[in-house]
């Protein structure tokens, strides 16, 4: 580190050295900014936080997130349900291959922004806040599991993004709870078209044959925690859980930071009410 500083701060003697110095300083600062943001600021609003904290989100922004309580969620997939009933429409209509799923917040407003920055904004350090919130949720649920498996991304996505966001979240949970994270067990064997706008069945069809298991000996009779950043319809979690179980896993829990289904549920609820009126 001291050598690097020396090169940057030494006065360059000619134009070539100025270029080298600038290029190096630029790369170094982008790299260090990506890994260690300069000051401790709220990840949502940018306000200075007085002290370093495990969840780098200010109280105002934390209060604006819609946390999903146990009393108002689908008992199967964990999506937020505002109406009556124990299960969301997707869980009532479709077979779920995972045992139970839960998410920390509803995927909207600030939560949506956070996930967007984490996934597409080259800010891998957001993993700490999200991973710590997910750890708190897991502790409140009291789940016991033997291994953590992240939902995989394709090689192409990995190359574009530089990291698998689900693996980074798995790493934080692994460190917090001292449970190993296995990054080489689930493989996304083929690139699939974008899933935006697709319903559960279309997604299921879209993902068919795309998830493979490697090194299945690590899964035999194990309880697995499957980790993802966002659950949309639960199709990906379900397909991953099926592959894990076929490879010998005894039980598959799913945890994600955010869950989209609130919107789908509300819309479907409205549709049903409309139909009943007719
Ligand atoms: Zn804030
Ligand atoms: Zn559900």
The DSSP line for 64-128 is HS-B--GGGB-TTT--B--SSSSS-HHHHHS--SSSEEEEEEESSHHHHHHHHHHHHSS-GGGHH
Q: Tell me whether residue 239 is in a domain.
A: yes
Q: Please give the distance, rounded to the nearest whole angstrom, from the Cα atom of residue 110 to the centre of ligand 1.
A: 9
- Three-state secondary structure call for residue 16: helix
**Domain identity same for 73 and 14:** no
User: Using 50, 70 and 90 to split pLDDT, how confident is the model at 198?
Assistant: low
User: What average pLDDT does this structure show over 167-177?
Assistant: 98
Domain total of the chain: 2
Q: Indicate the pTM of the whole model.
A: 0.80
Q: Please give the distance, rounded to the nearest whole angstrom, from the Cα atom of residue 35 to the centre of ligand 2.
A: 36
**Domain identity same for 151 and 77:** yes
Q: How far apart are CA 111 and CA 169, in angstroms?
A: 15
Residue with tokens 């955010």: 258
User: Using 50, 70 and 90 to split pLDDT, how confident is the model at 268?
Assistant: low
**Domain identity same for 80 and 27:** no
pLDDT surpasses 90 at 30: no
Q: Tell me whether residue 136 is in a domain.
A: yes
Q: Tell me whether residue 221 is in a domain.
A: yes
Q: Please give the distance, rounded to the nearest whole angstrom, from the Cα atom of residue 178 to the centre of ligand 2.
A: 29
Output the domain CATH number for residue 91: 3.40.50.2020
pLDDT surpasses 60 at 272: no
Q: Please give the distance, rounded to the nearest whole angstrom, from the Cα atom of residue 155 to the centre of ligand 1.
A: 34
Residue range 44-102, pLDDT digits in tens: 999 999 888 889 999 999 999 999 999 999 999 999 998 778 998 889 888 999 999 99
**Domain identity same for 16 and 124:** no
**Owning domain of residue 30:** 2-35
Q: What is the pLDDT of residue 160?
A: 87
Whether 255 contacts 68, CB under 8 Å: no
For residues 268 and 89, the model is more confident at 89
Q: Tell me whether residue 53 is in a domain.
A: no
Q: Tell me whether residue 42 is in a domain.
A: no
User: What average pLDDT does this structure show over 244-261?
Assistant: 95
Nearest ligand, CA 233? 2
**Domain identity same for 123 and 253:** yes
Q: Please give the distance, rounded to the nearest whole angstrom, from the Cα atom of residue 32 to the centre of ligand 2.
A: 40
Q: Please give the distance, rounded to the nearest whole angstrom, from the Cα atom of residue 60 to the centre of ligand 1.
A: 6
* DSSP H or E run through 224: strand 223-231
Q: What is the pLDDT of residue 11?
A: 39
Nearest ligand, CA 259? 2
């Amino acid at each position: 580190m001291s050598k690097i500083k020396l090169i940057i701060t030494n006065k360059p003697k000619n134009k070539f050295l100025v270029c080298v110095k600038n290029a190096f300083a630029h790369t170094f600062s982008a790299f260090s900014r990506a890994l260690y943001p300069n000051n401790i600021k709220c990840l949502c609003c940018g306000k200075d936080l007085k002290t370093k904290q495990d969840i780098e989100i200010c109280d105002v922004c934390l209060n604006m997130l819609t946390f999903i309580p146990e009393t108002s969620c689908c008992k199967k997939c964990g999506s937020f349900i505002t109406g009556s009933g124990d299960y969301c429409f997707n869980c009532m209509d479709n077979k779920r291959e995972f045992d139970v799923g839960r998410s920390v917040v509803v995927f909207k407003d600030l939560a949506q922004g956070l996930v967007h920055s984490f996934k597409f904004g080259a800010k891998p350090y957001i993993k700490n806040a999200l991973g710590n919130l997910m750890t708190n949720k897991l502790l409140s649920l009291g789940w016991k599991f033997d291994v953590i498996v992240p939902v995989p991304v394709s090689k192409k996505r990995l190359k574009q993004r530089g990291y698998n966001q689900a693996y980074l979240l798995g790493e934080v949970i692994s460190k917090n709870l001292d449970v190993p994270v296995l990054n080489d067990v689930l493989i996304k064997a083929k690139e699939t078209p974008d899933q935006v706008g697709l319903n559960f069945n279309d997604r299921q069809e879209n993902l068919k044959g795309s998830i493979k298991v490697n090194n299945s000996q690590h899964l035999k009779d194990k309880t697995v925690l499957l980790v993802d950043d966002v659950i949309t319809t639960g199709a990906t979690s379900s397909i991953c859980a099926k592959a894990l179980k076929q490879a010998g896993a005894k039980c598959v829990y799913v945890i994600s930071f955010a869950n989209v289904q609130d919107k789908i549920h509300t819309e479907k609820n409205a549709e049903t009410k409309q139909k009943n009126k007719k």
